[in-house]
Structure 1
């Protein structure tokens, strides 16, 4: 039996407005643009963004993804991230913190849900 070693995944999230996507992902969440592509200047945008080891593709192309998707992104300290984001006073999101899941959840302008979580330390018996 042949086995395959799988590597990291890159989610594709559907977007509908380039300016809103840039405001949310670059200004608010502090991702950077790695590259972007259009088949022609007036055709839909496809771009790769990243922050640390997290890589996401954003697409205006119909059929690339379903609006309202959800992804989980591990971060070092989810509570500190939540406090950092709240301090920005972003007009369209005031992310709360879920103690049980140790995560902060944010919905982008296109209905996609991003869950930033920190692994809980294992309990010592």
Structure 2
């Protein structure tokens, strides 16, 4: 058996807020979008490097309030970019954890927490 990395599915409620956070602030790219028809919720994939996320406006897909850990060997560069973006809803800092990792957590407008981790094999 050969399992691949999972793709998290995160609940969103507002497309404009999702794009402002994931694309404009975090720097993800939109890979594709899907709707079943006019006036249906959006389902899309965003990615940056090897990290892919699915964002869904569909009620039954998942619940808001997820927590993700995303490994990065470039936490300082990511931190500097996010601080420089001056996003009014998030001013993240880096924390050194007792187990040796360095972590930076940002929460999206829908209550999903993304923790970017460097060290101790994330």
| In the alignment, structure 1 residue 81 sits paired with structure 2 residue 94 | no
2:18 aligns with 21
Shift of 1:63: 1.8
Q: In 2, are the aligned partners of 1:79 and 1:104 still within 8 Å (CA)?
A: no
- Residue equivalent to 2:110: 110
Q: Which residue of the partner structure matches residue 56 of structure 2?
A: 59
Q: Alignment RMSD, CA only?
A: 1.2
Mapped partners of 1:85, 1:18: distance in 2: 20
| TM norm structure 2 | 0.92
- Runs (4+) of structure 1 exceeding 3 A deviation are none
Q: How many residues align?
A: 118
- What runs of 5+ residues in structure 1 fail to find an aligned partner? none
Residue by residue over 1:14-44, the C-alpha shift from the partner in whole angstroms, topping out at 9 and shown as x without a partner, is: 0000000000000000101100000012100
Give the corresponding residue for 2:87.
90
Q: Which runs of 5+ in 2 are unaligned?
A: none
